[in-house]
Amino acid sequence: MIVDKMTFFYKFLKSPKRVGSVTPSSIFLANAMLKNVDWDTTQSIVELGAGTGAFTGLIHQYKQPCTKGIIYEQDTEMRRRLEKLYPEMSFRSSAENLFSDIHELGMDQVDCILSGLPFANFSQSLRDRIMEGVVHSLKPGGTFIAFQYSRQMLPHLEKHFADIDVSFVPLNIPPAFVYRCTK
């Protein structure tokens, strides 16, 4: 865990606009992100921006053996490490390719997408491309769950989702908002 934190912190210092957080794991944030996932009925789950795998490990722990997991991490070093830890999951590098990737893996749509991507640091066009992929990739009734450090993404999410629940996680460092959006 300490090695994970050091790796994550080093990556953050090297490229702060590409790394979403300086705290790779927070039990409070993890609970807020994963508490409403119905693990018994989820057949497919995607994680965008896995980093050191704080959520990836919990996805691996909670998902059913038959549940397909697709994990996105742009940083090659962190992605390769996760591939070794969780070889039964599929790994990809660019969240922009979400929709085409799930089709390549033999799926039409997925049940749940979790995101730790730092949308506030992205250009509007990149945000738009990723969100289009998210919306097209989710099954009707599927959920998109993302954490952010501000409410900046709320108007953008409201363009795509009618049902949005926002919770605040004050004990995370830094405090975070969790957006749970249902298609």
Q: What integer is the mean pLDDT of 37-48?
A: 97
| pLDDT above 50: residue 47 | yes
Res 11 pLDDT > 80: no
Specify whether the CB–CB gap between 180 and 143 falls below 8 A: yes
Mind listing the pLDDT tens digit for each residue in 51-85?
A: 989 899 999 999 999 999 999 999 999 999 999 99
| Number of domain units in the chain | 1
Query: Which pLDDT belongs to residue 10?
Result: 45
CATH number of 153's domain: 3.40.50.150
Which residues form the domain of 56? 2-182
pLDDT of residue 173: 85
pLDDT tens profile 117-174: 999 999 999 999 999 999 999 999 999 999 999 999 999 999 999 999 999 999 888 8
Q: Which of 28-32, 36-40, 94-98, 134-138 has the lowest mean pLDDT?
A: 28-32
Using CA atoms, how far residue 132 sits from 10, 32, 68, 95, 136, in Å, is 31, 24, 21, 11, 6
Helix (H, G, I), strand (E, B) or coil at 53: coil
Sequential DSSP letters for 114-167: EE---GGGS-HHHHHHHHHHHHHHEEEEEEEEEEESSSTTHHHHHHH-SEEEEE
Give the residue carrying structure tokens 């995607």. 46
pLDDT of residue 107: 96
Q: Can you give the pLDDT at residue 9?
A: 45
Indicate if the pLDDT at residue 95 is higher than 90.
yes
Q: Is the pLDDT of residue 27 over 90?
A: no
What is the pLDDT confidence band of residue 12, given thresholds at 50, 70 and 90?
very low
- Any bridge partners for residue 91, and if so which? 71
* Mean pLDDT along residues 99-113: 97
pTM of structure: 0.87
pLDDT score, position 26: 76
